[in-house]
């Protein structure tokens, strides 16, 4: 029964695109809708205004609720970006980017009461006084100048279907004004847990069962976080402050019973316990001033740090209840980042906006790992190469850009340069210098507000993950994740063509095609016939097509209902450093119950969201379905493949009682099997015979969430 249902659901992967295009055509033809307000200026074709009244049908509690309902827009939290320029993603607040990196735009928006929002502007091109930082599309949340005191709060309860434990969480924030200083202060905290139950069985090369391994994982996570943002005008200068401090604690226990199938073998019990703690702090200060009639200057300072520690233990007990092995790994990682940035906008030349930005940054990571193993004779220290190291990066970059407006056509073009020095000490001693040229060009053709074509060509330099420089132990896979001091940034030439059509206040259809030419592809690089580390494996390519659409469903007699569809298909190629053959790019190696649509290297991903609002009854309901293709991870002697299947979620929502917004949701309704398949070779992958295979088949249970939000 379940297999039949799954097969039926999975058919939507192939049919979603065709259904969406047909639905869009029908919706656009039969239900043009009411026009959204828009700017009446020289840039009206670049801006679509969504006044606060547009969002009332969704009963928003905060600015994030509003931004999430902007048709044809995907929120980008700007994570894993190089420097500050794109750290705030594609969100502005009163024409300014949040001046922090670790505190995400979605978190910042969630603390702003909906009552403080005048409107949300969807900006699709250069507009006077707005710095897009190379982004093609952003939203600009416009707040009231003098909002009344507002308190926004949220509380939630979270429960798994196979657990009796109810886990709480919540947040509260205050927006007010004190001595001409507008501020927002908030605190949040939660505790949640999930269990993963299933099997992890091993098979011989010929398919015979080698070992039965049951697996039970319990993960608990607690956090507390405080935030403060403030702004004021002193003299002619606008000052902004944003700061965050937080504490996270994660405890995970992996219990496995291993039953080898060979005659005379003994049953073993493995227990891996991982305790992780981290402390975070970040502060950002911005000063903005008009230096002349046509020159606007801005200075930005950001500092953040994170202290992370992890204590992992692996205990092996035989069937006589005798401990046969004890391994302990004590890991510590301290990271620091400081950024100093200046931005200048010059508008004296008619139809031109000149931009000049210069940035300097300091990044530091210091990692330590002390590991021992005790097989009965006492603990013996294990030497892990590259486990104790310090990495320091000094970087500077400069950008000069111009936006040239020619009626229906806007050109945004410019060139940047980046120079950096990375020095590593400790187990590995190495120092390297890098220099990159980063040109970009964006052409926008906007003959009318509801139709726009965008062509973007740019060179992107990726953000290095300093954790890839440091080695770590992975007890559950009995492997080492080795660091690589020779890792260098991946660079990509991007060609991206998008055509967008809007019909009325909700209907949107966007079609995009793209091609990426990648140099120094970051992947797993072979070190020996059995070991690999993050490294650069040569040149590669990535290309694909994407469709996004928001469709009102009145033509199906579903009043005040909408369907949001996103679908992407892509392919890629790179020369495998092990086999010498062409293959696709590696994906991220993990299983999840909540599939992010922005996962980059996956062959296809499809997301369908339905929502219907009954405004008079103050009630709404909806569901969403997301699925993506299997994701391979290529190691030197192993091939890992991850697949979550189809994830279905649903919710009901009401604002009928006590002035509260109540939402009840169910995540992963099907309790879908999550499967990891490991194929392990005797030598190098695909160049030697298969030693064994391992199939992990687990579920995490349905997740029930009850959320109450309110404001006063």
SS3 content of the chain, % helix, strand, coil (to 5): 10, 60, 30
**Domain membership flag for residue 236:** no
Q: What gap in Å lies between CA 315 and CA 219, rounded to an integer? A: 18
pLDDT band at 134; cut points 50, 70, 90 = low
Q: Per residue in 151-161, pLDDT tens?
A: 889 999 988 87
Phi/psi at 23 (nearest 5 deg)? Answer: -65, -40
Q: Which residues of 594-606 are buried (b: 16+ CB within 10 A; e: fewer)?
A: ebeeeeeebbbbb
* The pLDDT value given to residue 30: 42
* pLDDT over 70, % of the chain: 91
Report the chain's mean pLDDT, rounded to a whole number: 86
**Domain membership flag for residue 347:** no
* The pLDDT value given to residue 202: 93
pLDDT band at 416; cut points 50, 70, 90 = very high
Mean pLDDT across the stretch 542-570? 94
Q: Per residue in 427-438, pLDDT tens?
A: 888 899 999 999
Q: Per residue in 650-684, pLDDT tens?
A: 999 999 988 889 999 999 999 989 999 999 999 99
* Cβ(514)–Cβ(544) below 8 Å: yes
Q: Per residue in 491-533, pLDDT tens?
A: 999 999 999 999 888 899 999 999 999 999 999 999 888 888 8
Tokens of 153: 């709060």
* The pLDDT value given to residue 334: 95
Q: What gap in Å lies between CA 382 and CA 478, rounded to an integer? A: 14
**Domain membership flag for residue 514:** yes
Q: What gap in Å lies between CA 712 and CA 708, rounded to an integer? A: 14
**Domain membership flag for residue 668:** yes
**Domain membership flag for residue 703:** yes
* Cβ(383)–Cβ(367) below 8 Å: no
**Domain membership flag for residue 643:** yes
- Going 60 to 62 to 67 to 68, the CA torsion angle's sign is negative
Range of the domain at 701: 500-712
Please give the tally of structural domains in the chain. Answer: 1
* The pLDDT value given to residue 148: 75
Find, among 138, 135, 279, 269, the residue nearest to 215 by Cα.
269
* pLDDT over 90, % of the chain: 55
**DSSP state, 147?**
P
Find, among 401, 387, 536, the residue nearest to 473 by Cα.
387
**Partners of 184 in the beta sheet?**
175, 229
Question: Is the pLDDT assigned to residue 335 strictly greater than 80?
Answer: yes
**Domain membership flag for residue 644:** yes
Q: What gap in Å lies between CA 66 and CA 655, rounded to an integer? A: 16
Q: Which residues of 64-77 are buried (b: 16+ CB within 10 A; e: fewer)?
A: bbbbbbbbbbebbb
**Domain membership flag for residue 274:** no
Burial (CB count <10 Å: 0-12, 13-18, 19+), residue 320: exposed
Question: Is the pLDDT assigned to residue 216 strictly greater than 80?
Answer: yes
* The pLDDT value given to residue 37: 44
Find, among 301, 484, 276, the residue nearest to 391 by Cα.
484
Mean pLDDT across the stretch 106-128? 84
* The pLDDT value given to residue 631: 92
pLDDT band at 29; cut points 50, 70, 90 = very low
Mean pLDDT across the stretch 112-123? 89
Find, among 710, 703, 712, the residue nearest to 157 by Cα.
703
* The pLDDT value given to residue 27: 45
Residue 328 exposure: Cα atoms within 13 Å on the Cβ side? 9
pLDDT band at 130; cut points 50, 70, 90 = low
pLDDT band at 450; cut points 50, 70, 90 = confident
């Amino acid at each position: 029964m379940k297999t039949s249902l799954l097969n039926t659901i999975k058919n939507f992967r192939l049919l979603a695109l065709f259904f969406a295009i047909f639905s869009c055509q029908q919706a656009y033809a039969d239900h043009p809708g009411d026009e959204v307000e828009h700017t009446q200026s020289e840039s009206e074709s670049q801006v679509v205004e969504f006044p606060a009244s547009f969002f009332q049908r969704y009963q928003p509690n905060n600015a994030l609720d509003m931004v999430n309902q902007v048709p044809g827009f995907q929120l980008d939290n700007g994570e894993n970006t190089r420097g500050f320029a794109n750290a705030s993603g594609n969100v502005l607040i009163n024409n300014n980017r949040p001046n922090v990196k670790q505190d995400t735009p979605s978190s910042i928006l969630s603390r702003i009461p909906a009552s403080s929002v005048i409107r949300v502007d969807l900006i699709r091109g250069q507009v006077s006084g707005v710095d897009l930082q190379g982004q093609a599309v952003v939203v600009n949340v416009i707040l009231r100048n003098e909002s009344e005191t507002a308190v926004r709060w949220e509380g939630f309860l979270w429960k798994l279907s196979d657990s009796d434990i109810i886990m709480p969480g919540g947040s509260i924030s205050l927006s007010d004004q004190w001595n001409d200083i507008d501020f927002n202060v908030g605190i949040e905290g939660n505790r949640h847990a999930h269990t993963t139950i299933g099997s992890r069985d091993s098979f011989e090369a010929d398919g015979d069962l080698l070992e039965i391994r049951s697996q039970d994982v319990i993960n608990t996570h607690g956090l507390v976080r405080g935030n403060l943002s403030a702004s004021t005008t002193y003299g002619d200068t606008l000052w902004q402050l944003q700061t965050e401090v937080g504490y996270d604690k994660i405890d995970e226990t992996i219990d496995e019973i291993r039953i080898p199938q060979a005659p005379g073998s003994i049953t073993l019990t493995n227990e891996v316990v991982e305790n992780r703690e981290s402390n975070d702090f970040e502060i950002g200060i911005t000063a903005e001033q008009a230096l002349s009639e046509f020159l606007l200057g801005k200075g930005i300072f950001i500092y953040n740090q994170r202290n992370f520690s992890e204590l992992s233990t692996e205990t092996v007990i035989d069937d006589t209840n005798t401990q046969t092995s004890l391994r302990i790994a004590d890991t510590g990682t301290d990271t620091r980042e400081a950024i100093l940035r200046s931005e200048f906008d010059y508008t004296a030349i008619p139809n031109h906006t000149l931009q000049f930005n210069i940035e300097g940054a300091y990044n530091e990571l210091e990692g330590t790992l002390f590991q021992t193993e005790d097989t009965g004779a006492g603990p013996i220290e294990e030497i892990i190469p590259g486990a104790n190291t310090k990495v320091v990066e000094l970087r500077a970059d400069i950008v000069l850009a111009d936006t040239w407006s020619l009626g229906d056509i806007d050109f945004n073009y410019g060139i940047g340069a980046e120079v950096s020095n990375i020095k590593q000490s400790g187990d590995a001693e190495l120092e390297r210098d890098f220099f990159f040229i980063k040109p970009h060009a964006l052409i926008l053709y906007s003959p009318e507000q509801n139709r726009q074509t965008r062509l973007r060509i740019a060179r992107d330099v990726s953000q290095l993950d300093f954790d890839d420089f440091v080695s770590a132990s992975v007890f559950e896979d009995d492997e080492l994740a080795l660091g690589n001091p020779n890792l260098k940034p991946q660079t990509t030439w991007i060609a991206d063509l998008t055509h967008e059509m809007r019909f009325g206040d909700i209907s949107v259809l966007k079609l995009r095609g793209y091609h990426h030419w990648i140099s120094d592809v970051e992947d797993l690089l072979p070190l020996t016939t059995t070991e690999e580390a993050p490294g650069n494996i040569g040149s590669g390519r990535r290309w694909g097509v994407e469709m996004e659409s928001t469709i009102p469903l009145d033509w199906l007699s579903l009043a005040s209902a909408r369907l949001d569809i996103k679908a992407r298909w892509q392919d890629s190629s790179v020369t495998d450093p092990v086999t010498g053959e062409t293959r696709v790019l590696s994906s991220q190696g993990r299983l999840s119950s909540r599939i992010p649509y922005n996962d980059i290297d996956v062959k296809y991903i499809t997301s369908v969201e339905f929502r219907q609002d009954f405004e008079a009854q103050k009630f709404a309901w909806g569901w969403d379905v997301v699925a993506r293709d299997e994701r391979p991870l290529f190691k030197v002697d192993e091939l890992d493949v991850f697949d979550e299947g189809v994830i279905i979620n649903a919710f009901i929502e009401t604002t009928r009682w006590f002035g509260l917004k109540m939402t009840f949701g169910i995540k992963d309704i099907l309790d879908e099997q999550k499967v990891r398949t490991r194929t392990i070779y005797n030598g190098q992958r695909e160049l030697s015979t298969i030693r064994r295979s391992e199939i992990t088949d687990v579920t995490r249970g349905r997740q029930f969430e009850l959320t109450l939000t309110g404001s006063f």
